[in-house]
Each structure stands twice: as C-alpha cells, then as structure tokens.
Amino acid sequence: MKKNKKSPMIREGVLDVLRKYLGVEEIPLNIPPGKEMGDFSSAIALSLAKERRKPPMEIAKEIAGYLNENLPPFILKVTCTPPGYLNFKVDWLKVAQALIPEILKRGDSFGKPPSLRKEKVFVEHTSVNPNKAMHIGHLRNSVLGDTVARILRWLGYSVDVCNYIDDTGIQVVDVVSALLYLDPPVFEKDTLDLNLIWGKIPSDEPLDYYCWDLYARFQEEMEKDISLSQKRERVLHQIEKGVPPLSVFAKDLATKIVHSHLDTVAELSIYFDLLNWESDIIRQGFWNATFDLLKEKGVIRFEEKGPNQGCWVVPYGGHIETEEGVKSLDKVLVRSNGSITYTGKDIAYQLWKFGLLERDFLYKIWGTQANGEILWTTSPEGEPASKIGRSFGKADLVINVIDVRQSYPQEVVSECLGQMGFKKQAESSIHLAYEVVNLSAQAARLLGMVETEEKKTVAMSGRSGTGVKAKDFIQLVKRRIIEKSEQIIEEKVAQALAASAIRYYLLKYSLESQIIFDFDEALKTTGDTGVYLEYAYARASSILRKAEEKGIGFEWDDHCLPTHITETERELLDSLSQFSTIVEKVGKTLRVSQLAEYAFTLATSFTNFYEHPDPHLKNQTLFIHLQDPKLRTFRLSLVKAFKLVMGNTLSLLGMSRLQKI
RNA sequence: GCGCCUGUAGCUCAGCUGGAUAGAGCUACGGACUUCUAAUCCGUGGGUCGGGGGUUCGAAUCCCUCCAGGCGCGCCA
C-alpha cells in the first residue's frame, strides 16, 4: 500500500473509495447521533435503495462488507445500523501518526495546494466614493473582498486586488461645490486662489470627517437654495471636461480622501495592488472602444421614440406598466445628452478586466504600503504596463465585491459581455453580492438620531450623514478591549485584537444576512468573537513558550503515540484534519463565513483539549507537568500542530497571530 | 405589478448538495483560578425551524401557496 503523501483527509479517502465502488458522484456524509456508533456516517444506501430495487439495509451491508475488505485510509471499521446507515469508525491513532508530523513539517504551508494555478483572478473591493469618511457598511465590503483575495492566493491563484475610485461622480462634485460655495471665501472666478478654499478646512479635524458632515450639509442646503444645484452643475461640467483649476482641485480632494480610506482599511490589514480611477477609464478611451464594439455586435440600439428617446440602450426587458406609469426595463448606457451611465462605464471597465479591450491604463507607483507591497495607481502621468514591468487586468476570473443592491446593473454588465460574444467571460464575471449593514434602533438612538416611528433598523446613508464611521468604530472596539482586559496590554496588541474582532464580526455572517449593527453585539469580547480566536492562539503559544523556558524539549517520533486517543484529542485532530478541505471549498463558493465558522470550531476544540486533555480523569494534568515524557511530547506536539493550523487560518482571515495577549 | 433575498431559542446567528435526538454565542441561574493565559471551562433553563399544503422511506433544507420584512426594477448616483 502506497503511503498517502497528501495531508490526511479522512473523509475524502472514504468518498474516493465509495465513489469508485458505487459509481455515484455525490455522497453526503453525516454525523451519527452517538459517538459510539461511529465518527461519521453516510445514508447513501438509503438513497440508492429505490433505484437498485433492494432493501437499504442489504445495500448497506454489501457496501460495509466491501469497505471492510478494502479499508480506506484511517478507517478502522465500517458498520451499518438500521434502516441502512453506514457508520465509519476512524483510527485516530493512525490519523495522529500521519497528521501531526505532516503539520509540524509543513508548517505555514500545511494544507496548501502544492502547485500554483494558471488562472488569474481580479478582485475589486472597497470602492468607496472619495468624498467622505468610510462607515462600517463599507468595511464589510473591504473585509469580504480582502478575505476572498487571501483565500484565492493561498489556493495558488495569481490575484490582483483593486480599489475603484469614482472620482468623477456627483458625490465628489457635491463636496467640491460645498467647499466652493457654502461658507466664505466663496469661489467666484477661475482666478481665485484655491489655497483660500483649502484654508477653510480645519486643521484639527481629519479631512474625511469634515467632508462627511459637509456632504450631508450640502444636501440640506441644496433643498433650501436652488442656485446651489445650478452652481453644482457648472462644477460637474468643469470636472467632467477636465478644466482646471476645478478638475485639479477635485482630483486633489479625492486623492486626499483616498489616502484616509487606505489608512482606515490598513488598520484591518487590508491592502491593494492597484487603484483604478474612473477618470482614467474615460481618458484612455475605454468607453469609445466599448461603444464601437457594442454597436458592431448589435448589443445596443438607438431609441428613436418612447420613454428612452435619444438614448443608446441595451434591450433587456421591454416595457412594463406599473402604478407609476409605463416603465422601460431596458438599460440606458448613453443618455440623450450624450453622457455615459454608470453601467456603460462598468461594461467598458469589465471588458478591460478581462483584457478584451485593446486599450490599457497608464500606471505609476502610489506608494509602499504597511505590508511592504507596492501600491500602483492608474494615472494620466503614468507609464504603459510594458514599461513598469507589471500588467493588470487580463484576468480569467473577475470578482466584484458590491452590495446586493447592485445586482441588477451587475447582471446587465455580464449579460452584455455575453451578447458581445464573450460567453466565457460573462460566466466568469462574479458579483460577490452581500447584504448591507444597517443600524439597530439602539445604535441609531445612541448616535442621536431622532426616533422616526418604531423602525427596527435604520439604513446608513452618506447623503444624510447617518452611520458609524469606520475609524470611530475601530477606536471604540480598541478602547473596549483595553477596558475588558484584566492586565495591562500593549497598544499594539489592543489594536490587533480590535482588528481581529471587527474582521470576525463582519465575516461570520452569511452573505445574504443583513448585519444589524448593534453596539452591544459588535463590541463583544467573549464567546464567538475574533478575540476568542486570538486568545486560543496566544494560549497555545504560551504553552510552547513555557515549555521552552523550562527546557522541555519535544521531538516528534512515532514512539510518543499514546495507546489511546482521548475524546478532546480526537476532536482536535478532526478539526485539524479538515483545514484544507474547508479552504478549498470556500475558495469555490466564496462563502467566507464558513471559514470563520471553521476558525471558531478549531479554536473551541483546542480550548476544550486544553481544559480537559483527558476528560475522564478527575484531575487534569496539563502538558508540561505531565510525568510521562511520551505523553507530554505527544500533547505538546498537538499543541504545536494546532498553533500552526490556527495560525494559517487566522492569516487567511486577515488576522494577526498574537503570541501573547 | 414583476424579480431577488430573508423569517430557526428571550436576543444575535450557524445549519454545505434532504438523513438518525435542530446547533453555537449572548442573556439568566449554579459551579471551577496557590499549577503552562478564567477574554476560559463545566452544568441548568430555553425551539409547533413564519402558517398551510405537497414530494419522499425521511424535510429547517426541495416544490406550491399564503403571511411578514428587506432590497431592486431611474436618462438618479
């Protein structure tokens, strides 16, 4: 029998044998009601009973008979129970014998696929309008995108992470207009020194915070004073056409705010490869090329009459009658005034991501990030990709992390690609849609919002300035962590714990679950939280540190295997053995909450093992105090194995590996 | 009106492709720190899985229907 070189995967081995024997692809596994029955089970015989026209028990016995003759790796025996379940008893000693040394040997790369993949993945996330501070809803996007990117990199894909900067949209125009026209000195002629305008910004308040209020205030002022929206219109045109000094001013403002956004997400260890500026999409002629292509392929048509008269549209669903009158389901790409809609630009941009446009951005270095990696940005003053020795786009798979409200336009983008003949790329356009973060009634009240009826939740809105700012939240969590700590902890540790707590909080919900942000819930430091994960890791580190201090060496060899594996040891081994399968699965489904869940399960199984290494004994003797050197070596090795796998899991979730808390 | 999503313990949520007795955390109550981290662990309490029908040997999971909530369906952004 050839020794299994890959990391021990108990269930996979069984599935392999079963699949071959039965010729069935999908074989679900379950957990039997009692541990004495087996470690896991399958109801496959019950499912097969009908088509094979045999009683399930008979089939089960047959399968069990075969399996017991041809035992899959790590399986001790296979039994069946009525009405036809197959129960698998795992040989945990064998698992320990194979798994522990494997983990210890491979360390950081345990469970990682051995070879790189050819496919290139383009992940876009964050993409916050550069006109105000980020709020916690934006953070959900960043954390999801960052975690997906980490997982895909781990799995061997080449991943480019990009942050799209919408610098020409109305939102930036609003803030620019507010700065120009709200409080004196007011911008009148093109000759006005813009330094006077910059001078209005208080030095003691961060720019993104100042703009947060200013933006909201501008919305109010516009309602009162109609002339403001006319002024805004003029600003918009100047910026769109790239007329200085306003276009330069707007770009400066956006650039400064982008810096604060990047600082904000860096607090959660989120970094990018490229900043993509919308202004560059237009400037480099992406749209013109796309427009020609769309016309050539007959994907869009010019409307001579009807509600969309004078527009270029994607015929998508014809017209419908609603209570509000006749509506067109067609998507407008070019307005009757000749301007391009978001979706239009998105199509051009999506084509570029796949390398389907004959055009490219110009690039230059933005700076070096805290993780040591260079961040690139598109720029009119940049150089072509060939000159910088790095290429972007040309992806095989594109993942756009955008909240669920954008599902319809995202669908249009992918549909257009398909209709243009890019079927494969249309299928490889993934909209990673997640539900929004809303404020609980309690949170809204704490933020001083006037109670509008008895609403259960309140949506965050930049427009009205309601929301919890990301940086405030991070500070709040940090302070809470310091408060809750029994001993004095370092600033750095508190920061790392806060980041882990927040990432975990935003990650553990399934994508289609709205997060109802509640301060009590979000500031928890006990139970199912990021802090728990870090604590388990730090605890394992401490044990190993202590062992080293006391000069207790432990070198793994097969002789230190105990005669039997305790219940908590078994649970831990089981969790450890599932690591790579989980990561692989999440890489496919992109349901990152399942990795978060795994992290918690793994941490729990370790904590249980730590508290009761031998649950049947009345008094637990812990690790370094064990008299039996063999058992001591075995358990310390298990602690080390946990530390390594937990460390890998934390890294994938973008969390620090704290050696000490 | 049409489409998508959600409804599971007092609260916040898991539950993958249908499988045996539906799980966590928080909260409440009761325990465990002179020993490598008690931000931990153990125990107790708590659920007609929104309602109803159907498919199936078997349904929280699939289908239909109703109810409740969220979102989308702009030449807005």
Nucleotide with the nearest C1' to A552 CA: B36
* Residue A225 CA distance to nucleotide B67 C1' (Å): 45
Q: What is the pLDDT of residue A115?
A: 87
CB A565 within 8 A of CB A577: no
Q: What is the pLDDT of residue A49?
A: 87
* Residue A585 CA distance to nucleotide B19 C1' (Å): 22
All residues at 6 or more sequence positions from A140 whose CB lies less than 8 Å from its CB, including other chains = A434, A436, A437, A506, A515
Nucleotide with the nearest C1' to A330 CA: B73
- For helices A246-266 and A170-181, angle between their N-to-C axes, nearest 10 degrees: 110
Nucleotide with the nearest C1' to A337 CA: B75
Q: What is the pLDDT of residue A350?
A: 97
A151's enclosing H/E stretch is helix A136-154
Amino acid occupying residue A476: L
Tell me the HSE value of A521 on the side-chain side, using a 13 A CA sphere.
14
* Residue A28 CA distance to nucleotide B28 C1' (Å): 39
Q: What is the pLDDT of residue A196?
A: 81
A400's enclosing H/E stretch is strand A397-403
All residues at 6 or more sequence positions from A319 whose CB lies less than 8 Å from its CB, including other chains = A306, A307, A326, A327, A328, A329
Instruction: Please give the protein residue whose CA is closest to the C1' of the nucleotide B1.
Output: A322
**Composition of chain A by helix, strand, coil, percent to 5:** 50, 15, 35
Nucleotide with the nearest C1' to A306 CA: B75
* Residue A46 CA distance to nucleotide B54 C1' (Å): 22
Q: pLDDT digits over A349-389, tens only? A: 999 999 999 899 999 999 999 999 999 999 999 999 999 99
* Residue A434 CA distance to nucleotide B64 C1' (Å): 28
Which two tokens mark A422?
Answer: 């890019």
Nucleotides of chain B touched by protein CB (<7 A): 1, 4-6, 12-21, 24-27, 35-42, 56-58, 69-77
**Stated pTM of the model:** 0.94
CA atoms of A122 and A279, how far apart (whole Å): 20
Q: pLDDT digits over A433-448, tens only? A: 999 999 998 898 888 8
* Residue A528 CA distance to nucleotide B48 C1' (Å): 29
CA atoms of A659 and A282, how far apart (whole Å): 49
Cα–Cα nearest to A20, from A68, A59, A72: A72
Instruction: Please give the protein residue whose CA is closest to the C1' of the nucleotide B26.
Output: A527
A313's enclosing H/E stretch is strand A312-314
Nucleotide with the nearest C1' to A509 CA: B13
Q: What is the pLDDT of residue A617?
A: 81
Q: In what order do the strands lie in the sheet with A374-378?
A: A363-368, A374-378, A274-277, A158-165, A120-124, A397-403, A429-434
A458's enclosing H/E stretch is strand A457-459
* Residue A488 CA distance to nucleotide B46 C1' (Å): 37
Q: Tokens 């020794």 sit at which residue?
A: A3
Q: What is the pLDDT of residue A185?
A: 67
* Residue A561 CA distance to nucleotide B42 C1' (Å): 28
Ranges of residues in chain A whose predicted pLDDT is under 50: 1-5
Nucleotide with the nearest C1' to A80 CA: B20
All residues at 6 or more sequence positions from A217 whose CB lies less than 8 Å from its CB, including other chains = A178, A182, A465
